[in-house]
Amino acid sequence: MPTEIPGIHHVTAIGSDPGRNLGFYTETLGLRLVKRSINQDDVSVYHLFYADHEGTPGTSMTFFPYPGARSGRVGTGQVSTTAFTIPIDAVDYWTERLSAEGADVDEPRERFGDTVVPFRDPDGLPLELVATADAPPANQPDGPVPEEHAIRGFFGVTLSLQSAGPTVDLLRTMGYEETAGESEHDRRRFEASSDIGAVVDVLEQPQAPRGQPGTGTVHHVAFRVEDDEQEAWREVFQDQGLRPTEIIDRKWFRSVYVREHGGVLFEFATKSPGYTVDEDVAELGKRLVLPEWLEDRRGEIEAGLPDLS
Ligand code: ZN
């Protein structure tokens, strides 16, 4: 068996207005734009990557913002909520900040002993801040949020499923273990070993409507894999009756995609070479970067992109 999956690599969601998306994730949430690129499958659309200062795997939330696109519906067969970690004493700071910025935020609630702040981004994408005592160190030195309160990367994701069994089996194969003896309502918690993005919560919701892709929904969740183990993971997935893609070069990492039995699109992405392979840390996100196989189309691609201000 390949090495157990340590946690999330990135989460990719669908947005609408790219400038509004940029403003919310950088100015309101205080993440850094670490990569300004294009959807490699549709070069008229941006691919924006928000992360910590260095673009550490496990901290990056990425978006395909399609101006004017139809809104989706969050439901089964999807990542229904994406959660970030904040320090345990930052709850009041964040509830006040999100309210002051006009965000759609709910009252904090308790879950598995942690305080959770649910909110939505401007496209209605469900997000959470989870305050934990063992939050990893801050790495957001130049952001608008004081570093003592800054987001510390992903806490985890929640999967909404009509039937959880086959997905739970896959998570166990990936190395996730169910948190002993804990479940709340229809929520079960699975954890990997990393201190960033280790949690996958599973909600079994047989009566809930099926999710529809569109703005305000997650497109896929990516998990971290060792650089030389993607082929081994592909074989594991094939043995489980799944149909993984070939290994795809995404420039900053290499990816294998597989739609798991519950309908959620999983990606398995390498830690290398990382977001600093084509830009220094100081320069991350400042200019449009393209994979070299698209560089000869740069003029045409730039002219076709919407305004990002
Ligand atoms: Zn991805």
User: Which residues is 21 bridged to in the sheet?
Assistant: none
Distance 290 CA to ligand 1 centre (A): 16
Closest CA to 306 of 71, 18, 68: 18
In the chain, how many H helices and how many E strands? 5, 17
Give the pLDDT confidence score for residue 86 in this predicted structure. Answer: 98
Confidence at residue 307, expressed as pLDDT on a 0 to 100 scale: 82
Task: Tell me, in angstroms, the distance from the centre of ligand 1 to residue 173's CA.
Answer: 21
Instruction: State the distance from the centre of ligand 1 to the C-alpha of 62, rounded, in angstroms.
Output: 8
Residue 40's pLDDT is: 86
> For position 1, what pLDDT does the model report?
86
For residue 93, how far is its CA from the centre of ligand 1 (angstroms)?
Answer: 31
pLDDT in tens, 270-301: 999 999 998 999 999 999 999 888 999 999 99
What pLDDT is stored for residue 182 in this prediction? 61
Report how far ligand 1's centroid is from the alpha carbon of 99 (Å). 30
- pLDDT one-digit tens code per residue, 252-268: 999 999 999 999 999 99
Q: What is the pLDDT of residue 291?
A: 86
- Non-local CB neighbours of 157 within 8 Å, separated by 6+ positions: 8, 11, 79, 81, 82, 83, 199, 200, 201, 218, 221
Q: How far is the CA of 260 from the centre of ligand 1 (A)?
A: 15
- Alpha helices (H) in the chain, listed in sequence order: 18-22, 91-100, 165-174, 230-239, 298-304
Average pLDDT, the chain: 95
State in Å: Cα 255 to ligand 1 middle: 7
Ligand 1 mean position, distance from CA 34 (Å): 15
Q: What phi and psi values does residue 156 have, to the nearest 5 degrees?
A: 170, -170
Which residue ranges form the domains of the chain, and what is each CATH number?
8-304 (3.10.180.10)
Using the mean position of ligand 1's atoms as its centre, give its distance from the Cα of residue 35 in Å.
13
Helix, coil or strand: residue 37: strand
Give the three-class secondary structure for 204.
Answer: strand
Q: How far is the CA of 60 from the centre of ligand 1 (A)?
A: 10
Question: How much is the pLDDT for 187?
Answer: 92
DSSP state of 12: E
pLDDT < 50 stretches in the chain: none
Reduce the DSSP state of residue 18 to 3 states and report it.
helix
Q: Are 195 and 136 in contact (CB under 8 A)?
A: yes
Q: From the CA of 304, how far away is ligand 1's center (Å)?
A: 23
- Quote the radius of gyration of the chain (alpha carbons, Å): 18
250 CA distance to ligand 1 centroid (A)? 9
Distances 105 to 94, 109, 116, 126, 209 between C-alpha atoms, Å: 10, 12, 11, 10, 23
Distance 266 CA to ligand 1 centre (A): 8
Q: How many A from CA of 251 to the centre of ligand 1?
A: 12
Tell me if 64 sits within 8 A of 47, measured CB to CB. Answer: yes
Which residues lie near ion ligand 1 (Cβ < 5 Å)?
A: 12, 222, 267
Cβ neighbours, 10 Å, residue 185: 7
Q: How far is the CA of 284 from the centre of ligand 1 (A)?
A: 18
| CA of 8 relative to ligand 1 center, distance in Å | 11
Strands 32-39 and 248-249, bridge-based pairing: unpaired
Cα separation, 179 vs 9, in Å, equals 21
The neighbour count for residue 285, using CB atoms within 10 Å, is 21
Q: Which residues 6+ apart lie within 8 Å of 226 measured at CB?
A: 2, 3, 270, 271
Give 129's strand partners.
84, 117
Read off the pTM: 0.96
Ligand 1 centroid distance, CA of 65 (Å):
14
pLDDT at 186: 83
How many angstroms separate the alpha carbon of residue 181 from the centre of ligand 1? Answer: 32
State in Å: Cα 12 to ligand 1 middle. Answer: 6
